[in-house]
Amino acid sequence: MGEGKIVVAIDSELKHNAVDLARSVSDYIYAVKVNWPLILERGIGIVKELSSITRVICDLKLADIPNTNRLIAEKIISAGGFAIIAHAFCGMDSLKAVKFTEKVRLISVIAMTHPGGDEYINGHWEKLLKTATEAGSYGIIAPGNNPVILSRVKKSAGELKIFSPGIGTQGGDPVTAIKNGADFIIVGRTVYDSDDPVSVVSEMRSRIGSYD
Amino acid sequence: MGEGKIVVAIDSELKHNAVDLARSVSDYIYAVKVNWPLILERGIGIVKELSSITRVICDLKLADIPNTNRLIAEKIISAGGFAIIAHAFCGMDSLKAVKFTEKVRLISVIAMTHPGGDEYINGHWEKLLKTATEAGSYGIIAPGNNPVILSRVKKSAGELKIFSPGIGTQGGDPVTAIKNGADFIIVGRTVYDSDDPVSVVSEMRSRIGSYD
């Protein structure tokens, strides 16, 4: 398994096959992140396949009643998933249902990077962080392209790992995000849309340098 | 296609195969509702298969950034899905991304039936309903086991169809929910855990009677 602070989101296979991409960059990254479109395309087997190469964070944005959240989490953990991303917005019982066993690493969404995130979620991040903490989260999602929220989240996050999307195409800079408190930066299009993902990731890791 | 006001949630295949269940009750119901656990188990092909029998409402509780919501919606529509359930709490742009074409029937969640729903979402239902309406929703989800919220939602819902879960095992009564404003009642365990789903559904339809 690779180490470091980079998580590569594999949102698209238009340019590179997901498994090939994961294999090529696995030495430089901490994990890959997959979401529903890839799972719909490939079936849940893709989680198992990628898990044999690196850690797989399943970005499912779970937001259902406890029973359904738990059923989904069970299937992901059986497939070898490293962590599951769920919304804190559906409350404590729904989050706790994802973390149905000690084996689950729960990463809770407490803020989002798109404009609609400001309509409801982002204004509640402090309470959502409390819910996430009490539910036994391993980490939280906080925007890497919003230095103000990110550094405030960092001050209140305690032991929780901060995973920050919004890096690269969405405007966030890896080093700035890490300085502001990100434990892991999530990079998507910048890597999977590149002709040479290995160079992009290895250069990014060099830039992160001593923060690694 | 059947008509009426009953939507059968097929959350589990422990007792009945999903396709067999849909086929057996299709004359008595308006639609079936499927969610992620079934899709993970069967692949997206199950949406296509069920769509040849009845309308399929895909209860995905989508809650992601616009680009991801749209990618998922595209796959569901390609598979023949009748409607997609998404969360209004991720804001207008995320909801509009689900409704990327006139062909999509978007059903927006503005309130939830579990205790955690009261922590964040349910207190915002009036604003969420506004977001849902402006995003071009076909319908909304409002709790069938909460007469107070349901009847208040009905007064503000305009042309939006109201789909109400929480009927049966979760305490809501079909006729009461319809009297309080539900256009469609969603019934799950009461049907799929039954030894005789056809009797359950046909009796429920008789009880609904003149409200049908």
Q: What is the mean pLDDT of residues A97-116?
A: 94
Is the pLDDT score of A76 beyond 90? yes
Which residue in B67, B75, B93 is closest to A40 by CB distance? Answer: B75
| Interface ipTM | 0.95
Q: B19-40: per-residue pLDDT in tens? A: 999 999 999 999 999 999 999 9
Taking the Cβ of residue B65 and every Cβ of chain A, the question of whether any pair is shorter than 8 Å is answered with: yes
Is the pLDDT score of B43 beyond 70? yes
Q: What is the mean pLDDT of residues B98-127?
A: 95
Q: Identify which has the larger pLDDT, B209 or B66.
A: B66
Taking the Cβ of residue A42 and every Cβ of chain B, the question of whether any pair is shorter than 8 Å is answered with: no
Taking the Cβ of residue B42 and every Cβ of chain A, the question of whether any pair is shorter than 8 Å is answered with: no
Which residue in B35, B63, B117 is closest to A87 by CB distance? Answer: B63
Q: Model confidence at B149, in pLDDT bands (50, 70, 90)? A: confident
* Structure confidence at residue A212 (pLDDT): 66
Is the pLDDT score of A170 beyond 80? no
* Structure confidence at residue B169 (pLDDT): 77
Tell me the two tokens of residue A178.
């890490």
Q: Model confidence at B167, in pLDDT bands (50, 70, 90)? A: confident
Q: How many CB pairs under 8 A join A and B?
A: 121
Please state, in angstroms and as integers, the Cα–Cα distance from residue B65 to each residue in A11, A62, A72, B20, B140, following that order. Answer: 12, 13, 20, 36, 20
In whole numbers, what is the pLDDT of chain B averaged over residues?
94
Q: How many CB atoms lie within 10 A of CB A136?
A: 15
CA distance between the termini of chain A: 15
Q: B174-189: per-residue pLDDT in tens? A: 999 999 999 999 999 9
Cα–Cα distance measured from residue B182 to residue A168, given in angstroms and rounded to the nearest whole number: 46
Chain A residues touching B112 at Cβ < 8 A: 65, 90
* Structure confidence at residue A46 (pLDDT): 97
**């953990």: which residue's tokens?**
A77
* Structure confidence at residue B148 (pLDDT): 86
In whole numbers, what is the pLDDT of chain A averaged over residues?
94
Q: Identify which has the larger pLDDT, A166 or B43.
A: B43
Q: What is the mean pLDDT of residues B194-201?
A: 97
Which residue in A11, A41, A65 is closest to B112 by CB distance? Answer: A65
Residue A171: what residue type?
G
H helix count then E strand count, chain B: 10, 8
Q: Model confidence at B145, in pLDDT bands (50, 70, 90)? A: confident
Nearest CA-CA partner of B185 in B193, B177, B197:
B177
Cα–Cα distance measured from residue B146 to residue A31, given in angstroms and rounded to the nearest whole number: 43
Q: B74-111: per-residue pLDDT in tens? A: 999 999 999 999 999 999 999 999 999 998 999 999 99
Tell me the two tokens of residue A198.
């290995």
Let me know if A61 is a catalytic residue. Answer: yes
Nearest CA-CA partner of B53 in B12, B25, B17, B11:
B25
The CATH classification number of A6-211 equals 3.20.20.70
Catalytic one among B5, B15, B33, B61? Answer: B61
pTM, rounded to two decimals: 0.96
H helix count then E strand count, chain A: 10, 8
* Structure confidence at residue B212 (pLDDT): 66
Tell me the two tokens of residue B195.
């030894």
